[in-house]
Structure 1
Amino acid sequence: MTHFEPPIHWKDYEDIAMKLYERFGDDFGEGKIYRIRFTDLHKWIMEIPNFAGKAEESNEGHLEMIQSTWVYEWRDNQK
């Protein structure tokens, strides 16, 4: 039985952050996450398997929210 995952869009910050954490794990800590270039972050988000957002729908606000949500996801997994 296949587990259906709904498509992820730009405003699904928690879903995106969880996918990035699953991909990079503890290789990216808080300081490193905040130093990621937005061009790299954008590319990695576009590579998420069920990501349905369009590249041109992205903006700096989305990327900042994703970045900070990823930090919270990372912190939650350090406990």
Structure 2
Amino acid sequence: MKWTDVQEIAIQLSDAHPQVDPLKINFVDLMKWVIALPEFNDDPKHCGERVLEAIQAAWIEEVE
């Protein structure tokens, strides 16, 4: 997975952290959790605030 795979990242985060409210996660932790996903293999330097916002929004949709 790459940073651009926002929907897949959101699905995997939802599965990996079902007890977490995605509205309450900070971007530092979110980035660490994405990088820790088993299928993730992109450069952490390619991540920015917009990417994290998109991942968070997709995760919120996934939970709802």
Shorter-chain TM band: over 0.9
Q: Which runs of 5+ in 2 are unaligned?
A: none
- CA shift, 1:35, in A, is 2.1
Q: Which of 15, 18, 30 in structure 2 is aligned with 1:22? A: 15
Q: Structure 1, residues 24-61: CA drift from partner, whole Å, max 9, x if none?
A: 12x12xxx312211110000000000101111000000
| TM-score computed with the length of structure 1 as normaliser | 0.77
Q: Which of 10, 25, 42 in structure 1 is aligned with 2:31? A: 42
RMSD (Å), alpha carbons:
0.8
> 2:60, 2:12 → 1: CA distance?
12
Over 6 Å off, 4+ runs? none
Identity between Structure 1 and Structure 2 (%):
31
Aligned residues, how many?
64
Rg larger for: 1
Q: Structure 1, residues 1-35: CA drift from partner, whole Å, max 9, x if none?
A: xxxxxxx100101100010011012x12xxx3122
